[in-house]
Amino acid sequence: MTDTEKIDQILLKMESFATKDDLKVFATKDDLKAFATKDDLKAFATKDDLKAFATKADLRHETNLVLEELDSTEQRLNRRIDSTNKDLQELRQYVTAVRYNNEIVEILMKRQDNVEQRLQKVERKVLCS
């Protein structure tokens, strides 16, 4: 085999090698230095570490419990407000009734005074005659 043939064979084998353009897309030493080290990776949370955190389902369940308690509290407050409003209405009716009773008593007392005055006049007339 001649030198030219050997060179041709070597060139054929080299055709499958990467070119400079092919290698440009690969990471350089400086690029690799920016990646996380083993120590950096050790600081990351593991699956076991993450098990202690609440899942979406846990959060949804807790949220529903809070909302149910809020609803229950709102219902209790509404019942108390309704009861207080009812008591207040009854108290207003009682105050109105007492006010009317006082007015009636006042009118009756005035009438009694009037009747007493008239009776005294009649007694004087009877005594004087």
Tens of pLDDT along 25-47?
777 778 777 777 778 777 787 88
E strands within the chain? Answer: none
CA–CA gap between residue 56 and residue 126 (Å, rounded): 103
The answer to which of 49-53, 66-70, 80-84, 114-118 has the lowest mean pLDDT is: 49-53
Task: For residues 125-129, give the mean pLDDT.
Answer: 82
Q: Give tens-digit pLDDT for 81-115.
A: 999 999 999 999 999 999 999 999 999 999 999 99
Q: Are 54 and 62 in contact (CB under 8 A)?
A: yes
**pTM score, whole prediction:** 0.47
What's the CA gap between 126 and 129, in Å, rounded? 5
Q: Which amino acid is at 102?
A: N
